[in-house]
Structure 1
Amino acid sequence: MVRAAYIHIPFCEHICHYCDFNKVFLKNQPVDQYINSLLLEIDRMMQLRSNSALKTIYIGGGTPTALTAEQLDVLLKGIKSIIDIGKLDEYTIEVNPDSIEEDKLLVLKTHGINRLSMGVQTFDEGLLKEIGRTHSARSIKDAVKRSREAGFTNISLDLMFGLPGQSPSDFKKSLLEAIQLDVDHISAYSLKVEEKTVFYNRQRKGKLTLPPEEDEIKMYEILRDDLKQAGFKQYEISNFAKPGFESKHNLVYWNNEEYFGFGAGSHGYVDGVRYQNHGPIPKYLKAIEEGAKPVLQEHVVSEIERIEEAMFMGLRKREGVNRKQFEKLYNRSLEEAFSEQIDMLVKRGLLCSTKDSIYLTEEGLLLSNEVFEQFIAVLSE
């Protein structure tokens, strides 16, 4: 049974230099038509899946709060008319510090949003400009303050490290600023230069200077050490929470569970099929208008793929992969599936194996991608 849904809002008032998500400039876009089509897609799917009892919804982007308060009201009121939000354990929306005014916060609160994920990235004014963000350090603090005053008790901040010209001490300062805001959850990701981004073009021209690998490792160590001291528990490679504030929606992904994906360019995983919706808004709108599924491509996930995904997604969690749960789901033990890989990684000091689970060691955290690669394309059908 599918218990989670991701809803995509592809509009941005400004495109950041590192972002490769499906998004478009807000100006002159058919925003109202998109909202109506999105609600139609959700309604059609939920009618087909009337037995689905959603527990988490995550509205991401793009920039959901690039919508006006009136547009947010239409969207959230529409969702409420289709889905019983009273049964949700977690209802998250991504917000930008410079586009989350009091009227929008009131709309979010009125319609049951109970978790805000705030895209901060850094508190360094120079770095904010370098990466193409439009907010300031001051606006971050104001946004958190306004959100608390509006009654939000679950606020997460997103940070980045390994940014152009960023030093470990620069990152430590930003992290301290985030901790001092007394938020409930912090996610921090290293910069990945993706194709079709401003940074990618700069890198190709030799105009992008990134920190050396040893500095990036130091930043990650600072992240883990400082957040632990501040009372945050690391529950996933890049995610830290105060007790009880772990992201329930993101755990769906890491537990390799199924979820709906709604909106242009969104991804979903339902009935053993991974799918991606049309990204270009006109194609998405046309499909909805014609009463068709707005799906660009589908992939039936084989049993072998499910097992391999369970490993490299599950090992992202600090608790790792539970032996009993794995065997219950896949009718084989971890050793029956991956004895050679587990033995090799344990000997290298990258995995720890106990009677209950396997999980990344401290060194394994730093070399996680190398660990994950060991579980891909190794099983036979």
Structure 2
Amino acid sequence: MKELGMYIHIPFCIQKCFYCDFCSFANRKHLIPEYINALTEEMKSWKEKLKEYRIKSIFIGGGTPSIISIDEMDKVLRTIYLNFDCKKNLEFSIESNPGTLEKEKLAYYLNNNINRLSIGLQAWQDNLLKSLGRIHNQEVFLENFLLAREIGFKNINIDLMFGLPEQTLTQWQETLYNIVALRPEHISAYSLKIEENTVFDKLYESGVLQLPSEEQDRAMYHFAIDYLQEHEYIHYEISNFSTKGKECIHNKMYWNNEEYIGFGLGAHSCLGKVRFSNTKDLNEYINKDNEREIDYIIEEKMSQKDEIAETMFLGLRMIDGIEIERFTKRFSCSPLKLYRHEICKLKEEGLIHVDGKKIRLTRKGIDLSNQVFVDFLPD
């Protein structure tokens, strides 16, 4: 059977973080029951369309999925297991925020095949957490992490951010020292980006937000790479590190440009060379009719040229890079031939390395990755 990744979006939060531009809402908890009804109906409507696929990974993201009740989560999980063919022992992730995890909830997740927990910490220092608009402090994070271990979670990711307003290299180092001491299986480390229409965007435009310089940001990133590798974390994607065998299967599916289905508000899908997405209007989603095809927006029918370009720049996010043989089998043409001019230029600039088997970014290329990716965009 063909394999497929599944993403399920829960767009509710207790509080919207100041940097967040995701499709999520605070103070709408009263709409959760209606949303779960709409979500499960949407999922059921895809049963026949996906009967030739086996689900190889599931990721419940948000928002903050861990704020919904056990009963509401149970409705979602029962819908998955009754309507789709799930691979045995598949990777099943759920995002969470400290302060929303209790013993009963964690035990329910683990007992119902959710085997990977992603906890959004972002920073170790309470003053930085407060400045980001986070709902938790360091103590609450530690309680939740240790509780998850006690319950039996053996695959935990911690989300971290650097380049934060007024953050110093010393504070970032302290964050990494303390997280590595806990030995999570996976660490995601993202540089803060100021996104439009966020609280941080308004503060930045008004000149209030003081960000580290580009040099300080890169120093934080390079320290993370070196320190985590010294402590046996594999740097397998630009922003992601894991212990051996614990790379995120679901996210690797995106970077390998494979097929996936998204359910929920604003969720994106890539199926049969067609990309489409759901509405971002919460009321429209709750009241939608799943039998009508206008419930999703067709974004693009991918040409082979588009698919090739996306496979190149998504694949280059992986530290191991693009396997030339695998690419050639997929598209019946070598990337070395298709992109000979671009590859020549990028090699001369010291941004990529090419050997007989792979094309990958150099350390300099990782720092300038967006500049590299532009070269592979279709005209």
What's the TM-score once normalised by structure 2's chain length? 0.96
Contact 1:26 1:66 in 2 (8 A): no
Is residue 159 of structure 1 aligned with residue 136 of structure 2?
no
2:136 counterpart of 1:135: yes
State how far apart, in whole Å, the 1-side matches of 2:304 and 2:75 are. Answer: 41
Question: What secondary structure sits across from 2:114 in the alignment?
Answer: coil
Cα displacement (A) at 1:26: 4.2
Larger mean CA deviation between 112-121 and 80-89 belongs to 80-89
Q: For residues 28 and 154 of structure 1, what CA distance do their matches in structure 2 show?
A: 29
Greater mean alpha carbon deviation, residues 14-23 or residues 357-366: 357-366
Query: Where do 1:137-286 residues align within 5 Å?
Result: 137-286=138-287
Counterpart residue identity of residue 373, structure 1:
V
Post-superposition CA distance 1:166-193 (Å, at most 9, x none):
1111111111111111110000110111
1:54 matched to which residue of 2? 55
Secondary structure, aligned partner of 2:160: strand
CA distance in 1, matches of 2:292, 2:333: 42
Aligned length: 378
How far has the Cα of 1:39 moved from its partner? Answer: 1.1
* Match in the other structure for 1:312: 313
**C-alpha displacement at 1:308, in angstroms?**
0.7
CA distance in 1: counterparts of 2:35 and 2:244, whole angstroms: 38
- Give the secondary structure class of the aligned counterpart of 1:8: strand
1:368 counterpart = 2:372:
no
**Corresponding position of 1:120:** 121
Provide the C-alpha distance between the structure 2 equivalents of 1:46 and 1:190, rounded to a whole number of angstroms.
39
CA distance in 1, matches of 2:105, 2:6: 22
Verify the 8 A CA contact 1:237 1:317 in the aligned structure 2: yes
Aligned counterpart, 2:66: 65
1:289 deviates by 5.9
Deviations 1:33-81 (A, max 9, x none): 2112111111211222201100100000000011122222222233222
Identity across the alignment (%): 38
Q: Aligned with 1:222: secondary structure?
A: helix
Deviation at 1:288, TM superposition (A): 3.4
Structure 1 residues 152 and 42, CA gap change in structure 2 (3 angstroms): same
After the TM superposition, which segments of 4 or more aligned residues of structure 1 sit over 3 Å from their partners?
26-29, 288-293
Tell me if structure 2 keeps the 8 A contact 1:122–1:174: yes
Tell me the distance in 2 between the aligned counterparts of 1:364 and 1:298: 30
Aligned to 1:89, the other structure's residue is in SS state: strand
Which whole-Å CA distance do the structure 1 matches of 2:336 and 2:70 have between them? Answer: 53
Q: CA deviation at 1:2?
A: 4.4
- Between 1:76-85 and 1:234-243, the stretch displaced more is 76-85
What SS does the aligned partner of 1:35 have?
helix
The offset of 1:159, in angstroms, is 0.3
1:340 CA drift (Å)? 0.6
* SS of 1:257 mapped into structure 2: coil
Q: Which amino acid aligns with 1:55?
A: K
Q: Deviations over 1:237-287 (max 9, x none)?
A: 100000010000000000011100100111111111111101111111222
Cα pair distance change 1:28/1:168, threshold 3 Å? closer
> RMSD across aligned C-alpha pairs, in angstroms?
1.4
Q: Give the whole-Å Cα distance in 2 for the aligned partners of 1:69 and 1:28.
A: 14
- The residue number in structure 2 matching 1:7 is 8
1:25 Cα offset (Å): 1.7
Give unpaired runs (5+ residues) of structure 2. none
Contact 1:18 1:197 in 2 (8 A): yes
Deviation by residue 1:74-127 (Cα, 9 ceiling, x = unmatched): 222332222344625200000111101111112211211000011111111111
Note if contact 2:20-2:198 (Cα within 8 Å) is conserved in structure 1: yes
CA contact (8 A) 1:10 1:24 kept: yes
Q: Amino acid of the residue matched to residue 230 of structure 1?
A: H
Q: Single out whichever of 324-333 and 235-244 deviates more from structure 2.
A: 324-333
AA matched with 2:316: L
Structure 2 residue 322 is the aligned partner of structure 1 residue 328: no
Q: Structure 2 matches for 1:36-55, cutoff 5 A?
A: 36-55=37-56
- Give the letter aligned to residue 324 of structure 2: R
In 2: Cα distance, 1:67 partner to 1:315 partner:
36
